[in-house]
Amino acid sequence: MTNITQAFERISNWWYELHYSRIQKRALLILGTLIIVSSSLIVVSGNSHEVVAPPVVAVQIAAPEIFVDVTGAVTKPGVYTLAANSRVIDAIKAAGDSAPGADLSTINLARVLSDGEQIYVDETIINSAGKRISKTVHSGPINVNRATAAQLDSLDGIGPVIAKRIIEYRKVNGPFATVEDLQKVS
């Protein structure tokens, strides 16, 4: 408490020792009061301007697409645009679904497609013995990514056991991309 009284006495002494006239001291007092009051009002009121955030622009990112050629026993064969993680069944449905007599047993319908891929749906018939046989007769090279077990079995050096392993490997791992992939089948 004594510090406050001493400070007040020092200010009083300073005020009386100023070499200003009475009018100048009054003007100085009014000016000081105005500065203190206006500074207090500015601090208390803060910034009265609202900060307006820039408008949010919605950006739509197109999902990646792939192109797939669907041929064979489908209603509408052709090239279709599908979402990047589409499956074989999605491509067949895009082509109007499988046609009557289509043999879907040779295709892994759950496999994820890649861009530029061709899906071939085999056609089948039932012979007089009640056994399913393929309508299409392949001449020339056989695509190991589409070949049936019977087609693979017809190749030299591949019997029914290896043909079945090739088809199983293809269903699990997808199409063969290199010769090394085919050599992984044991």
- 180 and 159 co-located in one domain: yes
CATH number for the domain harbouring residue 132: 3.10.20
Where does a domain end: 137, 162, 177? Answer: 137
Q: Is residue 153 a part of any domain in this protein? A: yes
pLDDT over 90 for what percent of the chain?
18
Q: What is the pLDDT of residue 79?
A: 95
Q: How many domains does the chain have?
A: 3
123 and 98 in a common domain:
yes
Q: In this structure, are 82 and 119 located in the same domain?
A: yes
Return the pLDDT at 126.
Answer: 66
Predicted pLDDT of residue 30: 92
Q: How far apart are CA 139 and CA 59, in angstroms?
A: 51
Cα-Cα-Cα-Cα dihedral sign, residues 95, 97, 103, 104 = positive
Q: Do residues 123 and 80 share a domain?
A: yes
**34 and 72: one domain?**
no
Q: Are both 66 and 125 inside the same structural domain?
A: yes
Q: Dihedrals φ, ψ of 112, to 5°? A: -75, 135
Beta bridge partners of 60: none
Name 103's Cβ contacts closer than 8 Å, sequence gap at least 6: 73, 121, 122, 123, 124, 132, 134, 148
Range of the domain at 30: 2-39
- pTM here is 0.45
Asked whether residue 129 is domain-assigned, the answer is: yes
Tell me: do 122 and 83 sit in the same domain: yes
Residue-wise pLDDT tens digits, 96-145: 998 888 888 878 888 888 888 888 888 876 666 666 665 555 556 778 88
pLDDT tens for 44-102 read: 776 666 777 888 888 888 778 999 999 988 999 999 999 988 999 999 999 999 888 88
pLDDT for 75 equals: 93
Instruction: Mark whether 113 and 72 lie in a shared domain.
Output: yes
Q: Residues 130, 151: one domain?
A: no
Q: 28 pLDDT exceeds 80?
A: yes
Shared domain for 123 and 163, answered yes or no, is no
Residue 93 is assigned to a structural domain of this protein: yes
Q: Who has greater pLDDT, 149 or 49?
A: 149
- Between CA 45 and CA 162 the distance in angstroms is 85
